[in-house]
């Protein structure tokens, strides 16, 4: 093996409750398990995600939305473990970037025509056609 | 220029930004992919692959010989985990044919003068003249991304269990590979990226380190425990 692979915890990505491609009627804090706190500024909504048990301990994130876009992610609870304390915020940051990026194309097997119709790639093809 | 056609059973999206590249260049690239489908699909009884399997091909074509050579190279490199001749199944070189043929299609576009283009064949991407931002599909949420890569010239391929389920078999055990949820390879060519992604996925968890050790390959993987593993040189978009 030519180099070491840093191990991060992806499951945090699933904690971010709203995706910007979601239909417009889906707004932040739709799930009763999410405790929405007060909006700090006009147009922004702050949502606390559910607490999730991971191998390294309990994790909870708080996400700030503005017009269904994620504008900030903050760790409310993270395991006190040297590996995750370093890795988890980095992944949250990465996921935040991934969701808000204006991408050109998508990698990930789109095998069927039905799968394609519903895919992000199809949305990109239509948008730029 | 933008085109989307369904070839080999998956959607192929092409975007060419050079204004002077004629539509005929895209026509030729898609015609090549359709030719590959007709010649190398194991699902078409009249294809060269099917005829070879039935012992009707005394001498394989140069292209099929090249594909079979690549298949053998990856079989040996993975200790048999990647195998296009699984017991009880016919010859199925699809995993190598896809990346190899799409890379060639990109070569046709380049030869026709295309400098800045992006060719996405069923989720496997050849990009040229970037920067291009390539999102990696989240393994558990079809509408989400788990990473965004930045590519100038190169290829990205992802093997995963979504959509087709457990369709990649570990040739060493004959059982579906279940050690990973998704594995993405960035490499100079799609021939390498696609074959390495499929081969590493067949190997399971150990395939991540195997792919990472390949010259020129960068890896982003999600294992069955939802952990993300990635190489230090992975070109993550800023």
Rounded to whole angstroms, the Cα distance separating B8 from B41 reads 8
- For B133, the closest of A5, A95, A104 (CB atoms) is A104
A125 vs B: CB within 8 A? yes
Query: How confident is residue B21, by pLDDT bands cut at 50, 70 and 90?
Result: very high
**Average pLDDT in chain B:** 91
Rounded to whole angstroms, the Cα distance separating A10 from A79 reads 14
> Which of A56, A94, A107, A114 is best to mutate for the B interface (most B CBs within 10 A)?
A107
**Average pLDDT in chain A:** 57
Mean pLDDT within B47-52: 94
Mean pLDDT within B151-176: 84
B175, β-bridge pairs: B170
Res A38: pLDDT: 40
Helix (H) or strand (E) holding A45: strand A44-48
pLDDT at B1 over 80: yes
Mean pLDDT within A28-43: 41
> Which of B2, B5, B13 is best to mutate for the A interface (most A CBs within 10 A)?
B13
Of residues A97 and B217, more confidently modeled: B217
Whole-number percent of chain B with pLDDT over 90: 68
pLDDT at A64 over 80: no
Res A28: pLDDT: 33
pLDDT at B70 over 80: yes
pLDDT at A35 over 80: no
B180: cis peptide before it, omega within 30°? no
Query: How confident is residue B169, by pLDDT bands cut at 50, 70 and 90?
Result: confident
pLDDT in tens, B172-199: 888 888 889 899 999 999 999 999 999 9
Question: From the CA of A24, how many Å to the nearest CA of chain B?
Answer: 15
Res B189: pLDDT: 97
Q: E strands of chain B, at which residues?
A: 2-7, 10-16, 117-121, 124-128, 132-137, 145-151, 154-160, 169-170, 175-176, 180-187, 218-223, 227-230
Mean pLDDT within A59-78: 66
Determine which of A23-37, A100-114, B57-71, B205-219 has the lowest per-residue pLDDT on average. Answer: A23-37
B113 vs A: CB within 8 A? no
B225: chain A residues, CB-CB within 8 Å: 55
Determine which of A75-79, B90-94, B205-209 has the lowest per-residue pLDDT on average. Answer: A75-79
B231·A115 Cβ contact <8 A? no
- Give which of B191, B168, B196 is closest to B180, Cα–Cα: B168
Res A29: pLDDT: 32
CA A111 to mean position of chain CA atoms: 25
Rounded to whole angstroms, the Cα distance separating B95 from B197 reads 9
B198 vs A: CB within 8 A? no
Neighbours of A88 (CB within 10 A): 23
Burial B155-179, CB ≥16 within 10 A → b, else e? bbbbbbbbbeeeebbbbbeeeebeb
Rounded to whole angstroms, the Cα distance separating B64 from B96 reads 11
- For A8, the closest of B138, B143, B227 (CB atoms) is B227
Res B89: pLDDT: 81
Question: From the CA of B60, how many Å to the nearest CA of chain A?
Answer: 28
Res B228: pLDDT: 84
A99: chain B residues, CB-CB within 8 Å: 144-145
pLDDT at B223 over 60: yes
A107·B136 Cβ contact <8 A? yes
- Which of residues 121 through 160 in chain B touch A, CB cutoff 8 A? 122-125, 127, 132-138, 140-149, 156-160
pLDDT in tens, A74-92: 666 666 655 554 455 455 5
Structure tokens belonging to residue B77: 């490199």
A102 vs B: CB within 8 A? yes
Res A81: pLDDT: 59
pLDDT in tens, B106-129: 999 999 999 999 999 999 999 999
A126 vs B: CB within 8 A? no
Q: What is the three-class DSSP state of B68?
A: helix
Whole-number percent of chain A with pLDDT over 70: 14
Determine which of A114-118, B28-32, B135-139, B172-176 has the lowest per-residue pLDDT on average. Answer: A114-118
A118·B142 Cβ contact <8 A? yes
**Contacts (Cβ under 8 Å, ≥6 apart) of B72:** none
């Amino acid at each position: 093996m030519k180099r070491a692979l840093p191990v991060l915890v992806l499951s945090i990505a699933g904690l971010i409750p709203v995706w910007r491609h979601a239909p417009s009627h889906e707004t932040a804090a739709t799930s009763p398990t999410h405790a929405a706190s007060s909006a700090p500024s006009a147009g922004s909504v702050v949502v606390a995600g559910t607490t999730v048990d991971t191998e390294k301990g309990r994790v909870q994130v708080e996400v700030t939305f503005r017009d269904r876009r994620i504008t900030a992610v903050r760790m409310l609870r993270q395991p006190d473990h040297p590996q995750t304390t370093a890795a988890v915020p980095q992944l949250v940051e990465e996921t935040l970037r991934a969701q808000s990026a204006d991408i050109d194309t998508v990698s990930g097997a789109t095998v069927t025509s039905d799968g394609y119709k519903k895919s992000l790639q199809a949305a990109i093809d239509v948008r730029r056609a | 220029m933008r085109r989307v056609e369904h070839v080999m059973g998956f959607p192929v999206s092409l975007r060419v930004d050079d204004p002077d590249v004629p539509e005929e260049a895209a026509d030729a690239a898609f015609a090549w992919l359709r030719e590959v489908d007709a010649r190398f699909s194991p699902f078409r009884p009249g294809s060269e692959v099917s005829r070879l399997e039935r012992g009707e091909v005394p001498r394989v074509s140069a292209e099929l010989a090249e594909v079979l050579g690549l298949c053998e190279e990856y079989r040996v490199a993975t200790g048999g985990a990647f195998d296009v001749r699984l017991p009880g199944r016919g010859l199925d070189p699809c995993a190598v044919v896809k990346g190899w043929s799409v890379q060639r299609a990109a070569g046709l576009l380049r030869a026709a003068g295309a400098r800045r283009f992006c060719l996405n064949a069923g989720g496997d991407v050849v990009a040229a003249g970037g920067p291009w931002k390539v999102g990696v599909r989240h393994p558990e949420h079809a509408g989400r991304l788990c990473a965004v890569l930045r590519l100038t010239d190169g290829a990205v391929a992802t093997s995963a269990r979504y959509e087709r389920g457990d369709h990649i078999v570990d040739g060493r055990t004959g059982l579906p590979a279940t050690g990973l949820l998704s594995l993405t390879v960035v490499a100079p060519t799609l021939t390498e990226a696609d074959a390495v992604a499929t081969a590493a996925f067949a190997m399971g968890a150990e395939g991540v380190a195997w792919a990472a050790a390949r010259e020129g390959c960068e890896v982003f993987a999600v294992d069955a425990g939802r952990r993300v593993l990635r190489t230090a040189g992975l070109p993550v978009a800023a």
